[in-house]
Chain A
């Protein structure tokens, strides 16, 4: 081992000493014991992929990297989270969720799926670098996760074909929970069928302006949970599966996400699509918040907190803006929503 690596190894060991013995001042003999212990484990774990990057055996590595989770997440819970396999579908907002989940839970395995590549317009909401342009989103997320935890086994899925989703979820480690961040409605329907068949929960969020809307469907608690929480009827689902008509699909997406809770700017932006903007706007901060919200929700579900199926609004406008709830402002937003509905209806009629 070179001198610089040796120095880093010693520094890491000192940190590990503090993490494991926060109540103790530094004592050379205890430190020496720790060093011997870790060094001997290093030798045993030479076959492990991550060891060569971290110089540390897995436990020491996890102890260090999860030390600030302590007491908010107990060690046994951390272990449960580590063993949990989450399948993330759609890696724009989903990239924040997958990376945040990997950062906090340090999972042994994770599944990530997206067929798309990073383009320049993604960079306002994905923490990718300019050099990442053209890179597959799955490869970008894999790099980030491996960079933070080389012990994680990553399963990637890059197929457009919706029929390949099921084997991806089923094979290898299976999946304990699905995060659905795909735009494709066919894929969304298939994910729900799989979740129901395998009795696993599914979480999906929509970032809308500064606010986040989250749907939780707990098929693990009740297989009779209504897909999409009933926002799409069986008839809608049938229609979606029969069509590729973009106008119909767009209408269904709006039905699914809904317009309620839109800020004034967000509603006005929807009028501007294909006018002054090319598609609906999304913000990096909201995407990041959505990633955090998903991770916290997964943690609560997996650790058995009472999280039930439902639709949840996290409105920062409501939380932060003092006049957001003034009657005149509510009225203004409601008028805009009515106007949007009218426009959608008009478009339908013209169609």
Chain B
């Protein structure tokens, strides 16, 4: 069901101000405010495939299947990972504003297709994520070139234990040899994808010129494409030469000092949601450390490539997320966002 969009500037949602939190307000108003942070989460192709419902005691996060990538994400894996990212942001915001949150994944008791339900009560314990809250509005996917500086392994290990969650596992690849092998896999995945006309057609529907007034999709500025050229965004994608693109991405991976791989024991919806949650936490924690990440879903979506990645990493769990990472001085632009009012129902 289409709801009204109250904003005209698709970048306005990034200007959410914590001072406007309705401290003395009703639960509904507080929950709506928290959702303003959830929608700033990273998500696949900036499809923003989420909806929210607020009940008397909870926030429900639901998939918007109209926004699924019908061709390249036939299992809805990326869609649920995106929902997991929104969950991550929501948890950080809820924690910051004094809530304890109990999470139910795919609750059996709900009939409306809820992916995650969050029951909020007053937090009486120490804050878990307050350090991460301030960077929610600063975060954006960093697809630029990273610095040639080794990752601090201790920092990574600390984050691994801080965000430990059942059923998902975090792996960081830093060895030059493994990065090279992964770069070859990225090359293969890109060749596979960009030789596929339908993949390109679908992708072309989600890229936008840099000056877009639309509320979703990926402005090409994020990929380093200048303004004038970006005006031809959909055509550029369709005309992309697979080999040139694959070589470019391969080089980007080779120039990264680390690779981020999240794996899931079950590779099911809960596993995907938890993957997204973990990635969302990591992007925020990384940003504090000056680390940028750029996901590449092709490594996961192509089974052959995924299997090779598993073999290369020597892991038994199924990889659900792959990104290159590294210290970064880049200042990537935000991508547009839909208005919360459009995404929200109150029960």
Contact = CB atoms under 8 A, between A and B. Distances in A.
Contacts of A274: 74
Interface in A256-279: 268, 271-272, 274-276
Interface of A: 268, 271-272, 274-276, 335-336, 339, 342-343
B71 A271 contact: yes
Contacts of B74: 271-272, 274-276
A111 B68 CA distance: 44
Contacts of B201: 335, 339
Given A268-B70, A271-B74, A274-B74, 6 more contacts: A272-B76, A335-B201, A339-B201, A342-B197, A342-B198, A343-B198
24 contacts: A268-B68, A268-B70, A271-B70, A271-B71, A271-B74, A272-B68, A272-B70, A272-B75, A272-B76, A274-B74, A275-B73, A275-B74, A275-B75, A275-B76, A276-B68, A276-B74, A276-B75, A335-B201, A336-B70, A339-B71, A339-B197, A339-B198, A339-B201, A342-B197
Interface of B: 68, 70-71, 73-76, 197-198, 201
Nearest to B72: A271
Residue of B70, B71, B76 ringed by the most chain A CB atoms within 10 A: B70
Contacts of B71: 271, 339
A328 to B, nearest CB: 12
A269 B76 CA distance: 12
A339 B201 CA distance: 9
A276 B76 contact: yes
A336 B205 CA distance: 12
Contacts of B68: 268, 272, 276
A339 B197 CA distance: 8
Contacts of A342: 197-198
B250 to A, nearest CB: 25
Nearest to B80: A276
A274 B303 CA distance: 14
Please give me the 3 A-B residue pairs with the lowest Cβ-Cβ distance, nearest first: A275-B74, A268-B70, A276-B76
Contacts of A335: 201
Nearest to A273: B74
A342 B198 CA distance: 8
Residue of B73, B197, B198 ringed by the most chain A CB atoms within 10 A: B198
Nearest to B74: A275
Nearest to A336: B70
Contacts of A343: 198
Contacts of A275: 73-76
Residue of A268, A335, A342 ringed by the most chain B CB atoms within 10 A: A268
Residue of B68, B74, B201 ringed by the most chain A CB atoms within 10 A: B74
A165 B197 CA distance: 45
A137 B73 CA distance: 36
B79 to A, nearest CB: 8
